[in-house]
Chains A and B, each alone.
Chain A
Amino acid sequence: MTQDPRAVSQPSDAASVPTTPAPVPAGRRPGSPLLGAGSILRLIARWEVLLVLILAAIVWWGSQISPFFIQPDFWNSANFGASISGTMEVAIMALAMTPIIITGDIDLSVESMVGLSGAVLGVLWAAGIPLQLGIPIVLVVGMLGGLFNGLLVTRWGLPALVVTLGTLALYRGLANAVLGTSYVTNFPPEFTAFGFGYVPGTQVPWTLLAFLILAVVFTAVIHLTWIGRQVFSIGKNKDASRYSGVRVATLRTALFAVSGMVAAFAGIVLALRYNSVRSDNGTGLTLTVVMIAVLGGVDINGGKGTIPGVILAVFTLAALQSALRLAGVSSEYQNVAIGLLLIVSVIAPQLARQSRALVDRLHIGRPRQAQGPAPGEAVR
């Protein structure tokens, strides 16, 4: 019985995960060339690069099904257009979900906020309030809903999973209470054009443009500003962040508020795209939102993830959906494919990380740091 009992439950790869602290810069050793074989291999082993390969594979598969898939016509056709604009609401929400997951929280209530914001928009519109006024009001409602989530999580110390499970029911219930079983339709055409129209003179859907703008904003804030650094630091270690002056509670609350507001925006987009609101708008979208974030390489345990990865995941999902539709796969089976992709997308980055660790280990002649099992390495 000389075996370390920890080794039983924490097999060898548990030790290999923390040996690669930060992706590329830390892996580059002083004195080694900027683009040595190792760093190229490490680059290939990055999840985002694998995601590009997966995307390419899907496009290749789509072109095998139908040569139509890669022709420029296809990208204007109803198929991809439907996939892209059908994905944009969840894509927008995934952008806001990413920093929340990076800080180690989760927001399951977004799909209900889509329903609630649509319901409020519909009721305001039916009451004769112009959309120019209605849309800002709905965005504020979304922000307040997110704020409520955030305050319950940070001030009362409740787990985000439980709080947002509760508000998942609560906001859907509010939507039911506001709109009942009725529905509102006939939004003005200049607004519904935003839902399914194209930017004049181009083949870019308005919703895609909105997503791209938000994507640039989120990429800049998360990866280039102190706010982003603090988000990552909270995800790595909340206590250490607090002691180094990060206002952890405020930032986490703010992220929930942003998520609520973005979900409300997605709800508006959905309402305008369908040109109709019902209180069950958006049911089941949370699964896809979390899926996109995880597929984009965001660690559900917090601390790791990139917005560009999430953006790539959006396009991978859209391409997969249109390829499946082209192959005549019904939507129930599409869900199976998406579920499988979700699980594979978590297993695969682990393999990527391990292969990167392997690349590191193949550098001979440099002493490897002895590492014990990662502290606090829990299964969830």
Chain B
Amino acid sequence: MATNVAVANSQRNRVGALIGGLARSRELTLAGVIVVLSAIVAVFAPNFLTTDNLGPVTTLAAIIAIAAVGETLVILTKNIDLSVESTIGVVAFTVGLLLKEHALPVQAAWLCGIGLGLALGMCNGIIVAVFKVPSIVATLGTISIFRGLCFVVANGKEINLNDLPDGYTNPASQSLFGIPLFVILAVAVVAVMAVVLRYSILGRLFYAVGSNAEAAATIGVHSRSTIFLAFALSGMMAGIAGVLWGINYGAIYANSASGQSLAVIAGVVVGGVSISGGSGTVIGAALGALFLGLINNALILLGAPQEWLQLIYGAVILFAVSTDALIQVRTQRAKARSRIR
């Protein structure tokens, strides 16, 4: 009988471990929540699952997700990049201006935009990694500096659809096999970064620096260049997001994308990336961005008053991070208990 109990126990443990593992996998939980949420919303708002509705929503979420991938790299190294919104704005505006006033070929303007994003990210990286300014302070400063740069470049002007080449905004509404083009691009970016982070030495450096800087230094990881790289890549991703932002909206102002840092960081945090560094995945971050975008859309479709949107947005962020913390506490307790046994 004792063996039976033991077998039953071990089976239960295995099943428990499986369920626990699934529950702890933030990506799967989040994907599940997104599916369930979509199903529920679709029942009450039949037009939720139409391409006309989901196309623009997922396109915007894709832009945020690409910025969130870069932000994830920074947060993995135990830093934070608050300046992504300004980078997105500056890049979007500069690309528009290059097309309007200098009549650059479209692809060249895009490359310039991405390059500018990279350069701004490198500025952040230098301030944080070389001058050792805490990242929250550095990027709090560069929010206004980059945005001010945008105002200098703009000089009171704005970019309209008429200033841009014909059909410039078309890619935002195009789709391949029914999937919006931007979503495919975002999936590609996320997939590449996920593989790099999971399987390449370079990718593991970000985790090493974020989880234990001293240990990383002891095994020969140059943490400051890793942090520099994270900020540079974050700037580049924000640059890509800025280019896409311009394509998506067509009309670009000097204060475009203001306040989007919150959306990006919220996506990353909801996606299960630990703000204290060293844990999380870009897939989670991208799903987090998608989840918040869908919530926003669902609330509008379900007729929630406009004034309540931000309230629910904040509540969702708090709920997501709180459950995360509670699950962590539970699993740690469970681990401690099993160790005692």
Contacts and interface: CB of A to CB of B under 8 A. Distances in A.
Interface stretch (B91-99, B110-118, B192-200, B313-321): B313-321
9 contacts: A8-B220, A168-B314, A176-B307, A180-B307, A279-B307, A294-B137, A339-B142, A347-B131, A379-B134
Interface string A137-173: 0000000000000001000111101110111111111
B151 interface: yes
Contacts of B312: 173
Contacts of B266: 165-166, 169
B214 A380 contact: no
A12 B214 CA distance: 16
A224 interface: no
A6 interface: yes
Interface stretch (A237-245, A308-316, A330-338): A330-338
Interface string A55-68: 00000000000000
Chain A interface helix/strand/loop/mixed: helix
A173 B147 contact: no
A335 B144 contact: yes
What 9 pairs across the A-B complex have the smallest Cβ distances?
Answer: A173-B311, A170-B314, A336-B148, A169-B314, A173-B310, A339-B144, A342-B141, A332-B151, A166-B318
A126 B55 CA distance: 43
Nearest to A1: B220
A106 B223 CA distance: 25
Contacts of A168: 262, 314
Nearest to B258: A284
B45 interface: no
A159 B275 contact: yes
Residue among B133, B219, B220, B222 having the largest count of chain A Cβ atoms under 10 Å: B133
B49 interface: no
Interface of B: 77-80, 127-129, 131-138, 140-145, 147-149, 151-152, 213-214, 217-224, 227, 254, 262, 265-266, 269, 275-276, 307-315, 317-318, 321-322, 325-326, 329
User: Is the interface on chain A under 10, 10 to 19, 20 to 34, or 35 or more residues?
Assistant: 35 or more
Contacts of B145: 336, 339-340, 343
A291 B140 contact: yes
Contact of B217 (A8, A158, A338, A339): A8
B304 to A, nearest CB: 11
Given A170-B318, A379-B135, A336 B143 contact: no
Contacts of B152: 333
Contacts of A174: 311
A173 B315 CA distance: 9
B131 A379 contact: no
Contacts of B140: 287, 290-291, 339, 342
B141 A340 contact: yes
A380 B135 contact: yes
Interface string A318-340: 00000000000010110110111
Contacts of B131: 343, 346-347, 350
Interface in A1-42: 5-6, 8-10
A358 interface: no
A346 B137 contact: yes
A343 B314 CA distance: 29
Contact of A300 (B136, B147, B311, B315): B136
A349 to B, nearest CB: 10
A171 B166 CA distance: 43
A301 interface: yes
